[in-house]
């Protein structure tokens, strides 16, 4: 294996999933829109390793769309979601006491597939560390690859049309903000992700951004002004 793992992005329309290589196989981050199973399996086949784990950043339909399809095709696969987001994956969007009492937005189609593991911040999934970044959804998580500090940020930070936060996205791709549950929480999470000093940003929408620090600072400043 190379010193720094390669980024394997799988695109469908404007949505990204990623295959993360580990010694024993692959971790798939997010599951695209429905009907993407064949594309994801073909990408894994190209890498010559099995998908052992599916780790979800959040439960929006464009990130879990092919989960059932993949779980059926793979047979045995670990399905990992945050403790809080697991309820959204069951289409239960009721809020918890202490949370901002705002309606959870965006499509939550749920899945027949049940998580085999629920995680909280600080837990490890192979080389990935789970980072809590609520705001876009209540239980949104990101994954920091500790080998090279690639941050798989889901929709907490996106890169489509430039680096933006879920608190305030750009005109090119406004849907992330539109479907964000709670903006000031999303802004706090963006700052927490920035503090991790990611070496590259692999987000749910847009291309991989190398050395995103300065662009992230600008995006956070812009969101703070709004």
Residues that bind Zn ion (CB under 5 A): 60, 155
Q: Which is nearer to Zn ion, 33 or 121 (CB)?
A: 33
What minimum distance in Å lies between the beta carbon of 208 and Zn ion? Answer: 18
**Dihedral-angle region of residue 48 (phi above 0 means left; psi in -120 to 50 means alpha; beta otherwise):** left
What minimum distance in Å lies between the beta carbon of 179 and Zn ion? Answer: 5
Q: Which is nearer to Zn ion, 74 or 141 (CB)?
A: 141
User: What phi and psi values does residue 12 have, to the nearest 5 degrees?
Assistant: -145, 120
CA distance 92 to 153: 23
CA distance 64 to 57: 9
Q: Kindly tell me the burial class for residue 7, based on how many C-beta atoms sit within 10 Å of its own C-beta (0-12, 13-18, 19 or more).
A: middle
What minimum distance in Å lies between the beta carbon of 58 and Zn ion? Answer: 6
Q: Which is nearer to Zn ion, 60 or 87 (CB)?
A: 60
What minimum distance in Å lies between the beta carbon of 47 and Zn ion? Answer: 26
Asked if residues 147 and 199 have their Cβ atoms less than 8 Å apart, the reply is no
What minimum distance in Å lies between the beta carbon of 61 and Zn ion? Answer: 8
Q: Which is nearer to Zn ion, 85 or 145 (CB)?
A: 85
Q: Which is nearer to Zn ion, 126 or 139 (CB)?
A: 139
What minimum distance in Å lies between the beta carbon of 175 and Zn ion? Answer: 8
Residue of minimal Cβ distance to Zn ion: 60
Q: Which is nearer to Zn ion, 21 or 155 (CB)?
A: 155
């Amino acid at each position: 294996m190379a010193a720094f793992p390669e980024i394997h992005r799988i695109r469908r329309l404007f949505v990204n999933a990623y295959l993360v290589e580990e010694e024993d196989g692959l971790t798939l981050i997010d599951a695209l829109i429905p009907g993407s199973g064949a594309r994801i399996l073909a990408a894994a086949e190209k890498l010559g390793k099995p998908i052992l784990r599916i780790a979800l950043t959040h439960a929006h339909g464009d990130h879990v769309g092919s989960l059932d399809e993949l779980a059926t095709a793979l047979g045995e696969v670990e399905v990992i979601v945050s403790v809080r987001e697991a309820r959204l994956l069951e289409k239960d969007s009721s809020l918890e006491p202490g949370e901002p009492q705002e309606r959870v937005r965006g499509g939550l189609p749920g899945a027949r597939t049940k998580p085999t593991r629920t995680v909280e911040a600080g837990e490890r999934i192979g080389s990935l560390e789970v980072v809590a970044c609520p705001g876009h959804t209540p239980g949104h998580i990101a994954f920091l690859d500790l080998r090279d500090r690639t941050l798989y940020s889901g929709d907490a930070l996106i890169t489509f049309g430039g680096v933006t936060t879920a608190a305030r996205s750009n005109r090119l791709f406004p849907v992330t903000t539109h479907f964000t549950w709670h903006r000031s929480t999303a802004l706090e999470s963006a700052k927490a992700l920035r503090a991790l000093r990611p070496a590259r940003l692999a987000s749910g929408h847009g291309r991989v951004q190398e050395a995103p620090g300065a662009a992230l600072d600008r995006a956070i400043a812009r969101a703070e002004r709004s």
